[in-house]
Structures are given as C-alpha cells and as structure tokens.
Structure 1
Amino acid sequence: MKQLNRANQAVADQKAAFSQFRPAVADEQSTELLRFYDSFDGAVSGFILSELNMRQGDRCKALNVFSDLQAHSYKQGAEYNLRALGHLANAQAFLWKFRKNLPEPDTATKSFAQRLDDVRHEMREVICELEIKASDAAELSVTLDHVCTLFRRGACEAGIFVFIDGGIKSLEALRKTPGRGAESNIAAWKLHVAQILLALAVWVAYKCFHVTCRCAQIEKSVHGAILAVASVVHVA
C-alpha cells in the first residue's frame, strides 16, 4: 500500500516549527508546562497525519478508484485522530497541574496593554510575511485580536491559562465531530491550534514585561509562535 510521502515531510516541518517556540516555554522552568507543550505538539502532529490520510480517502471515494487505499486511509486517519486525542488529554492534564501552582491572580496594567499593542503589531507583520492567502492571514489576525482582547480587559496570568484550557477543550470537541473541524477555509481545528499558540506567545510577553531579564524572549516568542502556526496552516 502506497504511503503518503507528504505526511512525513508535513510532520517534520511542524515539529521543526514547534521547536522554535519551545525555548520560550521552557524558560518558565516548569516541568508541567513543558510537558503540556510537548503533549500538545504530539497532538497537532497526529491531527495533521489524520487529515492527510482522511483526504487521501476522500479523493479515492470521490473518483471511485483504489478502494483498498480508500479503506486503509480512512482507517489510518481515524487511528491517528484517536491517538492525537490521547496526547491532547495528556496536555490538558499537565496544564491543570501547572495552573494549580500559579500565583494569586493579578490584573494586567494599562502600561502592559500599551506594550501589548506593540507585540500585536509585530505579530501581524510576521503573519504578513507568511506565504498564505490574504483571507487566511485575515483569519489569523482576528484570532490574534481575540487573544489580545483578554489582556485589554484586565486578564491576569491565570486567566490566560483558563483561556488556553478552554481552547484545548474546544479543539477536543471539534476533533470528535464527524467532520473533525476540517470543513472551513482555514479548518476550525487549525484556528484553535493558532489561538492556543498565540495565547502562549502573549503570555511570554506578559511575563517579560514583569520580569525584565526575560525580555529577550519576546521577539523569539513572536517568531516562534507564528512559525508554529504557519506549519499547521500550510498542511491538511
């Protein structure tokens, strides 16, 4: 049975992009947060493999050819999706452990909200440089605005991880539907992945603002997060 050569390359690209953002997460020196990120990384890889197999099956079905390949692709796609959901459940468990140890809630200051405008602009510039359709870039920008609005409303550090946890739950629910959240222009599941990664990048900016020795992480975090998002948008 012929393998999907594109699958190996797609996951390799995604892993390489996610690794660019990993140091910003590791800088928190939290085992739970790093395990959350690595489990989330594994889940995204699985979802990509699932979609590439499912689309191979869909093409066979639409053209009424290669019935064996169709059956194999659908079976593989379903298995990869289930495996990825397992990684996502692990990610949520590690995130919960990390959230338990967060400091008492505080409120984002007006001065940070102003700094956030600069970070948002930097992210939009990086998105503009991606080789994606204008409509896709616009959807990513809307997702970024949604994340930034949390802090403009005075969200605290704990609040951003409540938001991320909600994103994980929504992603899980989408991937359990018959369409797997893959029907729209940018698949809805990809936008949920983007939302989680961008929220992590904004959180790094928040930490940097309050702990100045971490300020060098902001630029790396912006580029790393966008690269990770792009690696998902480009495939499946």
Structure 2
Amino acid sequence: MKGLFGGRNPRAVIFDCDGLLMDTEPCWSVAETELFARRGLPFGPDEKASMIGKSLTAAADAMAAAFGEPEGSAEIAAELLRLVTEVVTAKAEAMPGARELVELTAAAVPVAVASNSPRALLEAALRRGGLSAMFPVKLAADEVAAPKPDPEMYLTACALLDVEPVDALAFEDSMTGLRSVRAAGVTVIGVPTLKREDFPADVVIGSLRDDELLAWIRGWPRR
C-alpha cells in the first residue's frame, strides 16, 4: 500500500457505494431476478455479471435487449428503480468495516462518494447504512452527463474535492467502476464483488477490514 503514491499519501479519497460501502448488490439481484421472472426468463450468474456496476439506464438498456423489448428501456428503468429502492430501504446493510474505514479516512483527508445509482437511490442506501452524514461530497449518475465507465464522474469528484486526479485514491468493486477510475487517471484499490474475475486495480484486497490497508491509513497525518 505504501508504494501506491511513491511514499506520499493521497490528498483525497473517493468511494464507490453499491457493492463497496453498501451491500446493495443482493438488493439489485432481487429486483433484477423479479423483472426477468415476470417475462419468464432465468436470471443467473452470467446475467448478473452483465449488470454489476452499470448505471440504471445502462442496466435497463441491457435488460431491454435481453427481453426483446428495444423500445422499453425507459419503462424498464422505472420499474427497476422502484423495485430496487423498496428492497434497499428495507434490507440493505453497510459492508463490514465500511463505517470504520470512512471515519478513519475522513479524519485525515477529504472524502467523497461517487455512485452509478441515481441520487435518490444513493441517498436511500447511505441513510440505511448510517453513512450519509460522513460525506460532504456526493455524486450520483444522474448528476453527470456520462456515468461510469466514462471518467466524468471521477474527474468531477476530484474537481469538487479540489484535488488533481493523480493525487486522489478511489475504492471500487466492479469492472465498470474500475474502467471509469482508470480513465480518469486516479489510483484505485479494488475490492471486487465477483471474486472470480480478473480485477486489474493497483491493489486488490478482500475486504474493507484489510489489516494492511487500515494500518496504512492510520499512518496518515490527521487533519
């Protein structure tokens, strides 16, 4: 970890939300499975892999193609958002170590959350996990012209944090997010949701409670 910035520390940290800070992927899976089932279609690992990390619009577009409903993306997106929000509000939990990691990091550097979810769903997830008040900067997919995997979200987050991308650190769990952060030129620590996939982050860890990660951050000067 200490070699990530050539002996320096990052000047800001940007966290993904779904699957990284909040265990919302099962919530998305419930909603996605329901939409496939309503059309008599199975929803398995391959279908799930094609959805992870996508924005609501991109996921709806993929579903429309899978359903043979090329004109139905907008309706599918509305249906998906309604179902996911219901499940997230009732059942989503913070990932193990998420609150502790954000608190520790925020004591040293400015932090932000950058999510491919719409703002309303992002807020619902953060409130459910007790994380909302920890982030002075929040950025959602419906607040940028091009969500992940485009780099705009990370470039915008860096601008809001008043830091150059080269001086920022990101945490991501999906290939979609990884492509976004890479294209923005931000260093990334990966905590992949799908453990079987190749995940070419700068460092890959198994959980937010990684001992080496926490020891590194504890060594940063406090603000």
TM-score, reference length from structure 2: 0.28
| Structure with bigger gyration radius | 1
Greater percentage in strand: 2
Structure having the larger proportion of residues in helix: 1
